[in-house]
Chains A and B, each alone.
Chain A
Amino acid sequence: EDKVVQSPLSLVVHEGDTVTLNCSYEVTNFRSLLWYKQEKKAPTFLFMLTSSGIEKKSGRLSSILDKKELFSILNITATQTGDSAVYLCAVGGGSNYKLTFGKGTLLTVNP
């Protein structure tokens, strides 16, 4: 059975801190790993990673994939209160077109 495990499940930091969120996976026929940010409503897309070792960056957020060790990290530098959200990791794989989601990491950034 496909599995995606995120850690930590929750994290509380102060503004300006740097955080690292982890996602490990066991998925047959891996295709891609995606990161989403979910505030009160729908998940919003952050990154899609398909190749090992290539960092993707968007502002203060960056992510990298290690296909040998089967994990990805999402880094957020100089955190702001607006970064408070649940960060979801999802992996595409298997013989169908399904994304398998992790349980998410709840990030709280305090002023």
Chain B
Amino acid sequence: DTEVTQTPKHLVMGMTNKKSLKCEQHMGHRAMYWYKQKAKKPPELMFVYSYEKLSINESVPSRFSPECPNSSLLNLHLHALQPEDSALYLCASSQEAGPGTDTQYFGPGTRLTVL
């Protein structure tokens, strides 16, 4: 089973709202990732969690706040977003974050629209 699940599938929010994106995997993977993908562009890495600790933050604005409550779950808390933050948000996981274990399995994504 190589399934990563994400909820919700679609989200529309105003600039003053607070919402959260959720990601779950039950493959025993110890590395989890958040990506942002705009139309016709490749995914852009936002955050990497390794063994439930944040290991990479790609200079993401503080209005995006990741959280890893346990090894199977990854959340992305959203607050005071801008319309340009509208995108497909992808979660991925890999066995570990290191050599030989690079294969990342992606969830279906959350399509976010900020009004």
Chain A positions near chain B (C-beta within 8 angstroms) = 31-32, 34, 36, 41-45, 48, 50, 88, 90, 92, 96-99, 101-104
Separation of A34 and B90 alpha carbons in the complex (Å):
17
Determine whether the beta carbon of B42 is less than 8 Å from that of A103: yes
Tell me if B's interface is mostly helix, strand, loop or mixed.
loop
Separation of A102 and B90 alpha carbons in the complex (Å):
17
Chain B positions near chain A (C-beta within 8 angstroms) = 2, 4, 31, 41-43, 45, 48, 50, 55-56, 88, 90, 97-100, 102-109
Determine whether the beta carbon of B103 is less than 8 Å from that of A41: no
Within the complex, the shortest CB–CB distance from A103 to chain B, in Å, comes to 6
Specify which of B4, B42, B105, B108 is in contact with A104 (CB 8 Å cutoff).
B42
Separation of A101 and B105 alpha carbons in the complex (Å):
14
Determine whether the beta carbon of B43 is less than 8 Å from that of A97: no
Determine whether the beta carbon of B97 is less than 8 Å from that of A41: no
Within the complex, the shortest CB–CB distance from B78 to chain A, in Å, comes to 19
Chain B residues whose C-beta falls within 8 Å of the C-beta of A88 in the assembled complex: 42-43
Chain B residues whose C-beta falls within 8 Å of the C-beta of A42 in the assembled complex: 4, 90, 106-109
Tell me if A's interface is mostly helix, strand, loop or mixed.
strand
Separation of A44 and B107 alpha carbons in the complex (Å):
9
Given known A88-B42, A101-B43, contact A96–B102 (CB-CB < 8 A): no
Chain A residues whose C-beta falls within 8 Å of the C-beta of B100 in the assembled complex: 31-32, 50
Specify which of A32, A41, A104 is in contact with B102 (CB 8 Å cutoff).
A32
Determine whether the beta carbon of B56 is less than 8 Å from that of A96: yes
Separation of A98 and B44 alpha carbons in the complex (Å):
10
Given known A92-B102, A97-B98, A101-B42, contact A41–B56 (CB-CB < 8 A): no
Within the complex, the shortest CB–CB distance from A90 to chain B, in Å, comes to 8
Within the complex, the shortest CB–CB distance from B74 to chain A, in Å, comes to 15
Separation of A58 and B105 alpha carbons in the complex (Å):
17
Specify which of B4, B88, B97, B107 is in contact with A97 (CB 8 Å cutoff).
B97
Among residues of B, the one whose C-beta sits closest to the C-beta of A89 is: B42
